Structure 1
Amino acid sequence: MKQKQNGIAIVEFTLVLPVLLFILIAVLDFGRAMHAGIVLNSATRAAVGYGAQDIDKSVDINGMTSIANLEAQQMLDADDEEDVINLQITNSLQCSCSDGVSTQINTDEDCDTNNACLVARYVVVDATYDFKTLISFPFIPDTVSLSRSASMRLE
């Protein structure tokens, strides 16, 4: 009976190994996606923090993008610029009234003229990043778009 079972463990191992490797790579990719989300969140917060310093910086999209990419580079501890995630940053200004109504505006003057019940001005930054998986998984796209949004009151 033992002679018939010789080699069964090797056969079972070769059948199970691809499934275990697939699960391992899926877990690694999930962790990479979560890390990219954390980096994106931190970069978005850094960009909105830069924009909320004053009205001139609130419309400086290049400055916000530079700050966001610098934050991402520091979090990733990337030496090469190729390792840095490339973020698409958009920003907007909003006026908010005490009744909870918010109005999107183009310039600071629009807030004063269009919003007599001005309570606060906010800078809103939206950032997106296209995350690419290590391998193609069934039923999951190869590229997943991650997005984060942050808002901060304009000082």
Structure 2
Amino acid sequence: MKTAETPTLEPRPGRAENVLQLPLGLLGFEQFKRYELLSRPEEAPFLWLQVLDQPDLAFIVVAPTAVLPDYEPQISDEDVAFLDLRTPADALVFNIVTLRGRNNATVNLKGPVLVNRRTLVGKQIIPLNAADLPVCQPISVTA
């Protein structure tokens, strides 16, 4: 998995409304549990998932509906319970983006990050329909 250089952003010391807890971390980065979701208007619809305990590490993420409106990961009952998702509206889904060149990127549909909007606790999941989803779905990164 590639990450990109963290953008220069105004210092914002982990405001509670942006801090996500991922108790199991991300695949390959299990040691990191606390993240901040950052945005820059000029980079929309892409966001940064900044590792709070390692400032030089961040992941580019995107809400899947911004690039693939038909994306519907099937979430297991175990993941619903782990995240205490009471209604579908509680769930916030992000997918990790990999840059493969200046205007070439892919999005991981097989391992979305699911976050409870109420508690801000998240988990990278493997959807029940993962066999039908690519790890490297090409997406457009140009306006």
TM-score when normalising by structure 2: 0.26
For the pair shown, which has the larger CA radius of gyration, 1 or 2? 1
